[in-house]
């Protein structure tokens, strides 16, 4: 199969986070990038480099944001003395790594007619699970035509 007119575009978002399950919505940035690219049909991949952050989709509203934080804290509790990674590690961020691996570092979202194919309430979010505030980046990559 030959795809004529296939485009590959990349953009890097940078922003600051607070750590400790800080959730940032980045749907508008992804939508804007699809429009800027000029691609009408394709896929956008949203990827968080690093081992203590994740990208996923969710309904971005205060109750669910709070529930999401509670959910990750329940699945990987802050029990520093019980995680082997924390033994001898000055960062003490085993839970950050565990939580990030549960959610995963990326999502791939199709788009048609230049619009993301998300559900009506579905938003793209970046979650910083690390134990401290920091500067983060997210890579947006479009493959489309």
pLDDT tens digits, one per residue of 122-131: 999 999 999 9
| CATH number of the domain where residue 140 is located | 2.60.120.460
pLDDT tens digits, one per residue of 39-98: 999 999 999 999 999 999 999 999 999 999 999 999 988 776 676 665 666 667 889 999
User: Is-contact 56 127, C-beta < 8 A?
Assistant: yes
List phi, psi (to 5°) of 13. Answer: -95, 140
25 token code pair:
């919505």
Which of residues 14 and 76 earns the better pLDDT score? Answer: 14
Domain of 64 in residue numbering reads as: 7-77+91-144
**Position 84 in a domain:** no
β-partners of residue 102 are none
In the block, tokens 């009408």 appear at 40
Q: Within its chain, how far is the Cα of 13 from the centroid? A: 11
**Position 26 in a domain:** yes
Among 54, 7, 2, residue whose Cα is nearest residue 33: 7
């Amino acid at each position: 199969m030959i795809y004529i007119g296939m485009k590959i575009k990349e953009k890097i978002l940078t922003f600051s986070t607070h750590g400790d399950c800080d959730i940032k919505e980045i749907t508008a940035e992804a939508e804007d990038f699809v429009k800027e690219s000029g691609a009408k049909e394709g896929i956008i991949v949203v990827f968080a480099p690093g081992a203590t952050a994740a990208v996923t989709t969710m309904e971005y509203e205060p109750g669910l944001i709070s529930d999401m934080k509670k959910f990750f804290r329940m699945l990987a509790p802050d029990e520093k003395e019980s995680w082997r990674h924390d033994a001898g590690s000055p960062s003490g961020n085993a839970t950050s790594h565990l939580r990030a691996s549960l959610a995963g570092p990326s999502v791939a979202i199709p788009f048609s007619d230049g619009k993301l194919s998300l559900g009506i309430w579905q938003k793209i979010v970046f979650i910083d699970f690390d134990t401290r505030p920091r500067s983060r980046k997210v890579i947006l990559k479009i493959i489309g035509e």
